[in-house]
Amino acid sequence: GENVEQHPSTLSVQEGDSAVIKCTYSDSASNYFPWYKQELGKRPQLIIDIRSNVGEKKDQRIAVTLNKTAKHFSLHITETQPEDSAVYFCAARPYSGNTPLVFGKGTRLSVIA
């Protein structure tokens, strides 16, 4: 089955700097890669996702890149702000769509003002 590895487990950046979180997946048939953000005491919420037929997707200060050959995808946050501090989870879904998402273990991002 699918296995998703996420790195780093913790990340601290200065406000205004960029942050990058990387994930690798094992199932080459996976075709959907969402990222969820969980603020302290809150529920995880989708912030951006990418499909396997796309190499990059941007939404304001966040972007996701996908390298299907290497089976890895990354979340990029530019001009970080204190409200970006949270736990971020990557996930992957095998092609069939009839299997649930497989989540990485999460990255705790701290943005230092």
43 is a contact residue toward other proteins (CB under 8 A): yes
CA gap 96, 31 in Å, rounded: 9
Nearer to other proteins, 26 or 78 (CB): 26
Among 14, 60, 69, 98, binds other proteins (CB under 8 A): 98
Is-contact 45 107, C-beta < 8 A? no
CA gap 94, 25 in Å, rounded: 10
Residues in contact with other proteins by the rule CB under 8 A: 6, 9, 31-32, 34, 36, 42-46, 49, 51, 89, 93, 95-98, 100-101, 103-106
